[in-house]
Amino acid sequence: MKIPGKDICAAIGRVLLKLTPLVVCTFFLLFSSSAGAGTVSALRIGQGVGSVRIVLDADKKFEYKAFLLSEPSRLVVDVYGINVSNNLEKNVARNNIVASSRVGNIDGGKRIVFDLAKPAVIKKAFMLAPQSSFGWRFVVDISIASQREFNSKLGTSHAFTSSDNPKSYARKNSSSSQTAKKVRNNAKKIIVLDPGHGGKDPGAIGYSGMYEKNITLAMGKELKKKLEKTGKYKVYLTRSTDIFIPLRERVKIARKHNADLFLSIHADSTRNRKAKGLSVYTLSETASDKEAAALAERENKADVIAGLNLVEHSKEVSDILINLAQRESMNRSSEFATFMVQEMKNSVELVDNTHRFAGFAVLKAPDVPSVLLEMGYLSNRTEERLLKQQSYRNKLATATTRAINKYFENMQHASLF
C-alpha cells in the first residue's frame, strides 16, 4: 500500500506500537547510529607536478586505511564509521594519474577505489580538523612512480591508517604545519622581470625612432621598485643595463633564481600605424608539446625541472613529469594573464582578444609560470608618446602590481584545500 509522504511518521509509529520493546529499542539504536554517522560528501583532486592530492570532505572525523592494489592498478581507501555520498564517484577532476573512482561496501564500512592511469605510490595520508569554512578533510597524496616501486608498495602491509601513532603524528603534524605556515607567510615570492632586447638588439623602432630596448628597461626598473615597495616580493632583472642576452639565457636566469613568476616586457610594432593597444601572451599548446618533447630527449635531464633529478627515472616517467610540469606552469601562466587583462582594462587601451598564445622562447621554462607583456605599439604615434612618459609607465606598473598581488593571493587560497 502506498503511504502519502505526510503520513509516513504516523505510519511508522503505528507499526512500532505492534513490535516488542526489544525490537523498538533496536530500531531506534540503528536509526540514531545511522543518522549520527556523518557523511563523506565531496571528493576533490588537485594536480601537482607528477602528483595529485585527493581530498574527501566530511562532517566528522573517521577511521581510514589507504593502500595500493594491482590488476588493475588502483588506490583503495577504506573508511569506517561514516557514510559516503552516492554522487562521490562522479567528481573525479581531469588529471594525469587518477582515471576514475567508484564506491562500494565492505565489512563495517565503505570502500572508495581510485583507478590509476599510471603507476603511483602513496606519499602521505592524514585527517585535517575543521578550519575556516572547511569541515573535516581526509587527504591522501600520491605521486607517479616506476612500475617496480609501485609493485613494492602493494597490499595492506604498506597501508596508511588512522591508527599509525595518531597522537605523535598529531603533535608532529601540528608543529610542522605551524612552522611551514609561518615560513610560507614570511617568505617573499620571487619574480624575475625580463626587459626585452638590449645591446646589439634594439627591438622595435618607434614612430619617431625610439628603441624598444630603452622603453622595456625603463619599465622593468620602475616595476621592480613598485613590487619591492610592497614588501612581498624579491625581484630580479634579467638585465639592468643596455646589454644583449640570448633568449634561452633569460629563461635560465629565471630558473636559477627559482622564480615563482617570470614576466617578459616588450613593446610591439607593425606597418599599420593605426594599430594600438596592450596585449598579454602565454605559451601555446603546440609550442608546449614541442618543447616538452625536446626536453625529454636531452641527455642531461638533472635540472629540467627544479627539485627533480630526472636522470633517476625512466624515459616514460621523465616524459610524464616534464609534461605535467609544463601543463601546470601553463595553467598558472594563464591564470596570471587573466588577472593582468582584468587590471589593465581599467587603466589602458587593449587590443581585441587581449590574452593571446604564441611560442615565444622566453615562455618555455617548464617549471616557471611565464607571461609576455606587449605594452603597446611603438609604431603608433600616440602610444609611443605615452610609453615615453614615466607617468604612463607608472600606470602600467601599478596595474601589473595589482595583478601580481591577486595572482599570488589566489594561488595561496587554492593551495589550502
Q: Quick one: pLDDT at residue 147?
A: 86
- Would you kindly state where each structural domain of the chain is located, as residue ranges? 39-170, 187-415
CB 46 within 8 A of CB 417: yes
Question: Is the pLDDT reported for residue 168 higher than 80?
Answer: no
Place of cell 610542522: 176
Q: Quick one: pLDDT at residue 305?
A: 46
> pLDDT tier at 264 (50, 70, 90 boundaries)?
very high
Burial level of 247, CB count in 10 A (0-12/13-18/19+)? middle
d(CA 79, CA 75): 13
Q: Quick one: pLDDT at residue 200?
A: 93
Q: Quick one: pLDDT at residue 321?
A: 55
The CA–CA distances, whole Å, from 316 to 20, 119, 296, 322 equal 66, 11, 9, 10
Q: Quick one: pLDDT at residue 318?
A: 55
Predicted confidence (pLDDT) per residue in 175-219, tens digit: 444 444 444 445 899 999 999 999 999 998 999 999 999 999 999
Average pLDDT, the chain: 78
Q: Quick one: pLDDT at residue 344?
A: 94
User: Closest Cα to residue 203, out of 264, 248, 256?
Assistant: 264
Predicted confidence (pLDDT) per residue in 333-349, tens digit: 889 999 999 999 988 99
Q: Quick one: pLDDT at residue 403?
A: 96
Predicted confidence (pLDDT) per residue in 211-254, tens digit: 999 999 999 999 999 999 999 999 999 999 999 999 889 988 99
d(CA 145, CA 103): 25
Q: How many helices (H) and strands (E) in the chain?
A: 10, 16
**What percentage of the chain reaches a pLDDT higher than 70?**
72
Q: Quick one: pLDDT at residue 93?
A: 66
Strand partners, 358: 283
CB 83 within 8 A of CB 98: no
Least confident of 116-125, 315-324, 387-396: 315-324
> pLDDT tier at 131 (50, 70, 90 boundaries)?
confident
Cα 279 to chain centroid distance, Å, stands at 24
Q: Quick one: pLDDT at residue 307?
A: 45
Burial level of 120, CB count in 10 A (0-12/13-18/19+)? buried
Question: Is the pLDDT reported for residue 388 higher than 70?
Answer: yes
Question: Is the pLDDT reported for residue 75 higher than 70?
Answer: yes
d(CA 143, CA 122): 7
The arithmetic mean of pLDDT across residues 283-302, rounded, is 48
Q: Which CATH architecture has domain 187-415?
A: 3-Layer(aba) Sandwich (3.40)
Residue 374: phi and psi, rounded to 5, are -100, 105
Q: Quick one: pLDDT at residue 159?
A: 93
The CA–CA distances, whole Å, from 36 to 28, 75, 128, 396 equal 12, 28, 20, 56
Predicted confidence (pLDDT) per residue in 18-55, tens digit: 444 434 344 433 343 444 578 998 888 887 777 889 99
Burial level of 300, CB count in 10 A (0-12/13-18/19+)? exposed
- Overall CATH class of domain 39-170: mainly beta
Question: Is the pLDDT reported for residue 392 higher than 80?
Answer: yes
Strand partners, 388: none
Q: Quick one: pLDDT at residue 111?
A: 93
Q: Quick one: pLDDT at residue 129?
A: 87
Q: Quick one: pLDDT at residue 186?
A: 54
